[in-house]
Structure 1
Amino acid sequence: MCRLLGVVTRAPLPLDTALDGLAGPFTELSPEHRDGWGIAAGQGNGSSPLVIKGIEPAAEADSWGRALTGTVTDAALLHLRLASPGLPDVPGNTHPFTAGTAAFAHNGYFTPYDALDELIAPELPAGAAGSTDSERYFLRVLTLLRETGPVDALARAAADVRERAAAYASLNCLLLTEDALYAYADEDPESEVSRRRGPDFFRLRHRVDEDRVVVASSGIPQPRRPLDGAAVPRGPGDPPGRPARHDHTGGSAQRSGTLDYAGTCQPSLTYGGGEHRCPQTWRSTRSPTPYAARSWACWPSARSAPWGSWRSGSPASAVPESPAICVSCAPPVW
């Protein structure tokens, strides 16, 4: 399995500065997640993201350190790879995968790796760089992006995996577009990996402060601290029929949370001493494990939307019958 880290900042910064002390702890995960690393950094102006990869452990790669200090951006995703058994450590299998202005990284696996091939636009597999299930996941997302937006594309691609794959552990992923960073969380808690590694292994956590948003896989030792975030204005309207999004406006805030799998919406957003509690929980009519939740969040860069136009919610209406929860009210993490 792998580790994910994403960041969006108010203004372009060197990547190690943007990560606000998390670059070192993330790098320290690479002795275990040692089968390659990759970074995609948004460039804006319709340009493809800058992509830097290596097949050695990040902690042993001079190019990793140079990329952290020398890459200036306002939106990026980082990936440490722990390869699935039988998949070689070659550049084509190393995340992130890119196409046009989009970059994608996945943490988890599904089998068989070609479960989605019948749903991928016919011309896309020929351009695949490697042989991973993760890249096929991305190709399905790219196919769906031709007809819908990123949130629905991620939700529908994940639903396709659940329907067609014989098994999956996690579909957690980060999608970087020209305009925003998207996180999608989806775990099978009954998978062999989840049972062996424990309930925290696939959890995605996010932290918001005045100048940045960071989203990360578990494993980074980061103490909880007060975060003096700006108010969160209501973002652009959701597609018709989507369940109500829980936006919060006004006052300074401590904001952190988990793209959670618990099956209930736990509060973590505190404004002026008051707590917002989210009453909505969606449960699966498909899955035998009703606490296996799916959730998403979107953090636009300051280039494309007013800073603070965060959005999060569930894909329940985009994928009827899929289990999901509201994620903007989630347990505090750090």
Structure 2
Amino acid sequence: MCRLLGWSSDRPVTVAELLGAPALERLQELAAVHAHGCGMAWYGDDDAELHAHRSALAAGDDGDFLRFVHETRTRRGLLHLRLATPGLGLEVVDTHPFVAGGTAFAHNGAIFPQDKVDLLLPPGASQPAGSTDSERYFSRLRSNIGHKQGSAAVAHAAGRVLSRMRWHGMSASSLNALLLTPRELHLISLHDPEAEPADVQVWPADYTTHPPYLDLSLLQRDGLSVVASSGILREETGVTRVDAASVVTLDDRGGVARVSQIPERIISPLRRSA
């Protein structure tokens, strides 16, 4: 399980500036728990090139990550803190974001059973570099989207990923993800809103209260939009919860271009039979 952060701004901004001191401190605290790797992808000021960095180090131990947060000015980007699913690799090739076809992708969740995740790969796909379900999810999502663009296309593609999983007897509590393209940033909110991680520490030990782990939030203010996993944007004014089966698309000017519903929902077998 992991933490996600994405943003779009009408001006170059650092992560530290767009979050502000309280949220940045919470991000740093979460990074000490989600410590199995970190990464980011971004577009800079008047720069059409997609930049990316991945590390197997915890964010607090990665100098490039820290310099990026405090010094690199971007217009759109995403950031990922990894808490690895047991049984999956801990190498750089297993860390997020994954980059292919001019897009970057980061995921929070786990797909089971692990011995079936290769069934997500589209026909003719090359063998993934790493061991993760996330890289295979990205491959199928990219194939489903094809040459289409926009929020509705991403929502339909995510729904088809979930349908394929069910067809092959796979399950997941969360397919939450960020997809960064040359013109947009898509937040895929696809999770069971009543599910919570079990038997694993996902919050800093001194957190006395915390929100539902899989919830995603949206903050819009002053020419920028921020989307984030729970625990990062908490007390900030104007934060709204994102629907658990939707895609929120941020444009390249700091606004929300569209929100589209995903035609499938994740509901745990226990809740379905109740």
Structure 2 length-normalised TM: 0.81
Aligned residue type for 1:299: L
Backbone CA RMSD of aligned residues: 2.7
Are 2:193 and 1:186 aligned? no
**8 Å Cα contact 1:189/1:195 also seen in 2:** no
Shift of 1:295: 1.5
Q: Map residues 291-330 of structure 1 onto 2, 5 A cutoff.
A: 294-302=245-253, 308-316=255-263, 322-323=264-265
Are 2:246 and 1:260 aligned? no
Q: Map residues 277-288 of structure 1 onto 2, 5 A cutoff.
A: none
Distance in 1, matches of 2:265 and 2:88, equals 31
Q: Map residues 1-334 of structure 1 onto 2, 5 A cutoff.
A: 1-21=1-21, 22-43=23-44, 47-113=48-114, 115=116, 117-118=118-119, 120-126=121-127, 128-148=128-148, 149-188=153-192, 193=197, 200-220=212-232, 222-225=234-237, 255-261=238-244, 294-302=245-253, 308-316=255-263, 322-323=264-265
**8 Å Cα contact 2:223/2:255 also seen in 1:** no
Q: Secondary structure at the match of 2:160?
A: helix
Shift of 1:32: 0.9
Shift of 1:11: 1.6
User: What is the aligned length?
Assistant: 253
Deviations 1:257-316 (A, max 9, x none): 11134xxxxxxxxxxxxxxxxxxxxxxxxxxxxxxxx122111112xxxx5353113123
Q: Cα gap change, 1:53/1:195 in structure 2, threshold over 3 Å: closer, same or farther?
A: closer
Shift of 1:15: 3.2
More relative contact order, 1 or 2 (CA 8 Å, 6+ apart): 2
Q: Which one has a larger percent helix, Structure 1 or Structure 2?
A: 2
Shift of 1:35: 0.2
Deviations 1:88-137 (A, max 9, x none): 210000001011321110001011346454453344332x2211001100
- Tell me the percent identity: 33
Q: Cα gap change, 1:29/1:110 in structure 2, threshold over 3 Å: closer, same or farther?
A: same
Q: Cα gap change, 1:45/1:120 in structure 2, threshold over 3 Å: closer, same or farther?
A: farther
Task: Give the gaps of 5 or more residues in structure 1.
Answer: 226-254, 262-293, 317-321, 325-334
Shift of 1:176: 0.7
Farther-moved stretch of structure 1 (40-49 vs 214-223): 40-49
**8 Å Cα contact 1:194/1:202 also seen in 2:** no
Q: Cα gap change, 1:213/1:309 in structure 2, threshold over 3 Å: closer, same or farther?
A: closer
**8 Å Cα contact 2:120/2:137 also seen in 1:** no
User: 1:271 is matched with which residue?
Assistant: none
Q: Secondary structure at the match of 1:29?
A: helix
Task: Give the gaps of 5 or more residues in structure 2.
Answer: 203-209, 267-274
User: 2:271 is matched with which residue?
Assistant: none
Q: Cα gap change, 1:60/1:46 in structure 2, threshold over 3 Å: closer, same or farther?
A: closer
**8 Å Cα contact 1:11/1:74 also seen in 2:** yes
Shift of 1:19: 3.3
**8 Å Cα contact 2:225/2:255 also seen in 1:** no
Q: Secondary structure at the match of 1:88?
A: coil
